Chains A and B, each alone.
Chain A
């Protein structure tokens, strides 16, 4: 069809300026690719210690990394768990006595001298920051009585504060 000069000019003009611009996705893809690999790698290394929302670990500047394969005792304000299984319920009566906790000692002895098939005699106590010292003492006494001499206290890593 024959177009007028003006129509041709308009057509050319539209073709030149009205094209949908292409999105430049290269940098976005770079970021996504790096992020995905980073997250894949960081999610591949599983933390050897369980995470429980009811336990607020005390902050500390200790830096030793937790090791896997040990026995884990979790203590929050309500209960004491050994390897995820509830052993003792915590109430005020528990704090009257200073000796080892018989139920915990028995359960630890039942695990065997190395703390189970894949245990290496290591024991980690994950305690809430608010538990009283007496309870910690009773737990440590139970561990000693059950033959676990190497105890590690789990803490939340915190940078050292300098210049105080």
Chain B
């Protein structure tokens, strides 16, 4: 189900989009939610007059938790040496729970941008300042587990961090 509302008039314009979805996959006898099974998705985009006669843009993104497969241990996947009949090397691999049986924390991000428009040198200059992920929320990209130590730990990588950018466009 999708809902889309847009405002065209007034000083403040923008739109709101909401989506509700539920997805399942079946492989052989196994049914599980795929990695993109996100129940709720909300995007709010707003434009308004900014300082110094610029234009302010704000975008809010929210996503309910995505599934991932939980890790409960690590095993040594050994390499068999057929010449000598020994296992002589190994690779450490994860032991998982049921497929996509757990969920990451929810996703949320706010981006803010300011743009100006100046006619110059026979063209149009558009300087801008923007910040991605203003609140520096660490939205999870991937987890990494270490069960080879006591106590076991979880680390990982997040998606885009607080990311400021400055630039200028010139149209002629």
Instruction: Specify whether A and B are partners.
Output: no
Binding site for A on B (CB under 8 A): none
